[in-house]
Amino acid sequence: MSLLLSHSPKIFIRKPVLVRASAGRSSSPLQTPPCFVRGEDPCGPDHVELRIAYATRFFPKLIKKAPVELVYNDASDAAVTTIGSSHGWVASLMHDVGTLRLHDDLNPVASNSDPKRISLPPLVTLPHCQTQIITNVSLSSLSPEEEDCVVAVKFLGHQLSFCRPASQSNSEWFNIKIDNPCFFSSRVMFSKRHNMFRIPGAGGQLIGSWDLCEDKHTPKFQELRYHNLPELSKAERETMHSCFTSEHLVESRSTGETFLVKLFRQTVDGTSLKVKGTKLKTKGVMVFKVDDHGNAVYTQDIGDLAIFLSKSEPFCVCASFLPGVLPNYVNILDVRELAYFKLTDSSLISYTHRFKAPYFCPPQNIEY
């Protein structure tokens, strides 16, 4: 892979990025379980009241209000498009000015009366790249207000961009052009254990990592070798071959383990993925535990952990510390589906529903 760097790489030559709290195990009992926006009710011309699944079930005082434009913005002519989420911060693309903004409006514990809005620097589009279609966003720490927090944005295609929104000296974008097509549609995540942003390649053969502490123009690569693969029947193989497959890299901050999740989804009624609004339904999940040597071992037992996949950055939590969370499950949320996959016996429960904000929010500390 060759990389084209634009502007000064000042974002890399700083002290190591610090993540000050864990999204999993916590010493405080007052944490919300992972949650999402289940439904909305109008509460005025410009706002909606959010019914937040799981969080409000266990903490009924948590009632959220959010701007309509953050929830209902899937029209082709929308001025603002919500494009991702990380650590409970939702990112939106302001089409008219070409900038990104971070909001805490969909965070169940954030203030209703004084929501936080953080504008990021104007986007810089590298030659032969685009910055209108975004794969996802990732934060290196719990809040973009922390001085050392780095925001990573993965665009569909070549471009990967970083910035430090709270930096007093340099908050401009640091842009990288990725030539290897296996990373074009992949999602970026931050690894606290490695102190790097990492991207799994399509097909799950490579993981690319970008070190924030070193001034390097090339990523580190890890080639994966698969072990303990399950024996599948002919029907199971045919089903998987007919599916759209995506790879998701997830880190358990409480145990230090890294997992690669392969998600197999099939279009409903044989529609094409190129058609806008195509419905996808989960058909299977495979989880591999990845070590530092590139060994990816298939497993049906991740212990007390639960994995959450959505349009947000994927995350993993300890189930026993959070109400309503089942261990050894992969939880999946998409625009038209909510699914629960039990790893022990590969059983799957799937619900078809329209979710305007398909973002799992990781556990949040509650202050009363």
The residues pairing with 350 across neighbouring beta strands, listed in sequence order, are: 339
For range 127-145, the mean pLDDT: 94
pLDDT at 39: 76
Lowest mean pLDDT among 26-35, 207-216, 229-238: 26-35
- 36, 339 in Cβ contact below 8 A? no
pLDDT at 272: 55
pLDDT at 74: 65
For range 191-204, the mean pLDDT: 94
For range 15-29, the mean pLDDT: 40
pLDDT at 30: 79
Instruction: Tell me which of 255 and 4 has the higher pLDDT.
Output: 255
pLDDT at 189: 96
Q: Which of 2-16, 21-35, 56-70, 267-281 has the highest mean pLDDT?
A: 56-70
pLDDT of 50 over the 90 cut: no
pLDDT of 81 over the 90 cut: no
Q: Please give the mean pLDDT across all residues of the chain.
A: 85
Using a cut of 0.85, tell me whether the model's pTM lies above it.
yes
pLDDT at 256: 92
pLDDT at 5: 33
pLDDT of 178 over the 70 cut: yes
The Cα–Cα gap between 154 and 183 comes to 10
